[in-house]
Structure 1
Amino acid sequence: MSSQGEQTLIGSVQRALSLVDIVANSARPVPVKSLAVSSGLTSGTTYNLVRTLVHEGYLRTEPDGVVLGARFPGFSAPAGGAGMFVSRVRESLNTVTELTGVAAYLSRFTDGEVHLVDIVDAVENPRVELWVGLHDSAHATALGKRILADLPVAERLDYLSRHPLGELTPHTISDRRTLLAQLEHGPGWSIDREEYVMGHTCIAVPVIAPGITASLAVSIPHGQGLLTPEQAARQLRGVAGRLALQLGADRL
């Protein structure tokens, strides 16, 4: 028999909180259809609850799903990179695409590997298709090179000892000594000039917070006169600095 306390529980509140919990523990924005499947709720119920949660600020809609909303300013993200971390990252990536007009990316170093966290496309300049995963191409991408440059020397050397420097294009740096020199003596931001894919230059800056080593980047298609690497780095640094402060505050 149910206790008196259990009899007074409100089912709709429990269902809404279950949706928030799923979003908070997801490493990417969650489509509403996926929420319905994960929660076991009907599509109609899920859409109605999500609409209410968005209206009240507990969730926020993105083109590819929902993330946590502004009602969670102090949510402490777990080490795996979910919850508010995803929301903060998506907000920053949206800002970058609005400022620069090109696609924005964020990667993070976790468990000894470089992982892609999220991408936001610009309307007229969509993403570079990642035909080789970032864990196998960090040496050829601005995203990966920025993270490698920010790692302690021992971790950097360990990473490179475990990952061959494959030649993805004629411009890829495949010589270990040359790559190390670039990582150690860069200007504080990283660049790959057609090293991952022909026709694009990518720029990345660091995002460093307690327990977080990440990089924020853009890909600039050639021949459109959009941004110089120096201009892109300046734009990225401002957004990356704010993101690092937010992530640091979230973990307090």
Structure 2
Amino acid sequence: MVRPADPDTRSAVRRVVQLLDALAADDAELSIRDLAERTGIPRSSVHRFVGELVATGLAERGPAGVRLGTKLFEYGAAAPTSRTLRDAAAPFLHTLYELTSLTVNLAVRDGASILYLDKIAARRTRVPHSRPGGRGAVHATALGKVLLAFSGTAPTDLAFADRGLPALTEHTITSAARLSAELAAVRRAGVAYDVEESHQGLFCVAAPIRDPAGAAVAAVSVTGATALTQAERYSTTVMATARAIEHELTRRRRRRHPRPATRS
């Protein structure tokens, strides 16, 4: 018989997750004071939990504070879904980078945000808001919009609807009605654009990677510094990359689960 978890244990686990979330949200090292302010956890508790995280390799101490540990990278890399997607997509992401010389991203949706699984950074343009393991706003990114458009979920049903659609720049869509119209256009075109909606001075073009039923399981994009008219030039190449990854995922799926031979 499995005994229910002790309430104190559940509370401790939640606090540890809060601390890890705070560290994951910032590239910089955070002090005990920073972590306490961001999570609302008492400093004494933060100090104790951080000690345990460092001891287990889930966090590391640096010159200015604490950062995520490499142990978490091992766990993330071992996750079956992300590993399968990254492995299948990798050669096509590199080809896309070679063809465009732009930053290439692979992402999946996680509720009200997107989770970046992989990134090939361009030398010419700095794209600071995307990194493997990082997150972006689902309503303000081309990756997020294309994942929403092909998920079959209406904007009003989404988790972030209660909190509204926060503006990241002056170009961010903040109205559910406008987002709904945008998603309809994305479904017609098969591609989504983000022109300075998530970050000033940058554009993004994204296409869905779909399963056999047509639902988006991930999305691929290129990001650079240019206008919409220039961004549209890359849409065909990004969509072709998404289709290639779909075919590779299908091929791998069939190899793992071959159809039984039929008797003649």
Cα offsets for 1:134-167 (capped at 9, x unmatched): 35x1101001011000111358723443663111
Secondary structure at the aligned position of 2:139 is classed as helix
Relative distance call for 1:163 and 1:104 in structure 2 (3 A) is farther
- Distance in 1 (CA, whole Å) between partners of 2:81 and 2:111 is 9
What percentage of aligned pairs have identical amino acids?
A: 25
Cα offsets for 1:56-80 (capped at 9, x unmatched): xxxxxxxxx9xx9xxxxxxxx9753
Relative distance call for 1:199 and 1:112 in structure 2 (3 A) is closer
- Tell me by how many angstroms 1:175 deviates: 0.7
- Residue 107 (structure 1) aligns with: 107
Structure (1 or 2) with the greater helix fraction: 2
Report 1:14-93 matches (<5 A). Answer: 80-82=81-83, 84-93=84-93
Q: Determine which of 222, 228, 237 is the counterpart of 1:218.
A: 222
- Distance in 2 (CA, whole Å) between partners of 1:249 and 1:156 is 36
- Distance in 2 (CA, whole Å) between partners of 1:228 and 1:195 is 16
CA contact (8 A) 1:169 1:194 kept: yes
Q: Determine which of 191, 214, 223 is the counterpart of 2:193.
A: 191
- Tell me by how many angstroms 1:101 deviates: 0.8
Identify unmatched segments of 5+ residues in structure 2.
Answer: 1-56, 58-73, 255-264
- Distance in 1 (CA, whole Å) between partners of 2:243 and 2:125 is 24
CA contact (8 A) 2:156 2:176 kept: no
Cα offsets for 1:2-28 (capped at 9, x unmatched): xxxxxxxxxxxxxxxxxxxxxxxxxxx
Relative distance call for 1:242 and 1:156 in structure 2 (3 A) is farther
TM normalised by structure 1 equals 0.60
CA contact (8 A) 2:107 2:218 kept: yes
Quick one: which amino acid aligns to residue 143 of structure 2?
Answer: L
Report 1:127-142 matches (<5 A). Answer: 127-130=127-130, 134=135, 137-142=137-142
- Residue 95 (structure 2) aligns with: 95
- Distance in 2 (CA, whole Å) between partners of 1:88 and 1:191 is 24
Q: Does 1:236 align with 2:238?
A: yes
- Tell me by how many angstroms 1:88 deviates: 2.0
Greater mean deviation of Cα atoms: 153-162 or 189-198? 153-162
CA contact (8 A) 2:150 2:216 kept: no
Identify unmatched segments of 5+ residues in structure 1.
Answer: 1-37, 39-64, 69-76
Cα offsets for 1:174-219 (capped at 9, x unmatched): 1111111110123221011100011011110111124861111111
Count of matched residue pairs: 175
Q: Does 1:207 align with 2:199?
A: no
Provide the aligned C-alpha RMSD in A: 3.2
Quick one: which amino acid aligns to residue 179 of structure 1?
Answer: L
CA contact (8 A) 1:120 1:127 kept: no
- Distance in 1 (CA, whole Å) between partners of 2:174 and 2:200 is 16
- Distance in 2 (CA, whole Å) between partners of 1:112 and 1:143 is 12
- Distance in 2 (CA, whole Å) between partners of 1:218 and 1:92 is 12
* Higher RCO by CA contacts (8 Å cutoff, separation 6 or greater): 1
Greater mean deviation of Cα atoms: 90-99 or 122-131? 122-131
CA contact (8 A) 1:128 1:219 kept: no
CA contact (8 A) 2:105 2:221 kept: yes
CA contact (8 A) 2:208 2:216 kept: no
Cα offsets for 1:74-99 (capped at 9, x unmatched): xxx975321x4222222222111101
- Tell me by how many angstroms 1:106 deviates: 1.0
- Distance in 1 (CA, whole Å) between partners of 2:80 and 2:140 is 26
Quick one: which amino acid aligns to residue 197 of structure 1?
Answer: H
- Residue 40 (structure 2) aligns with: none
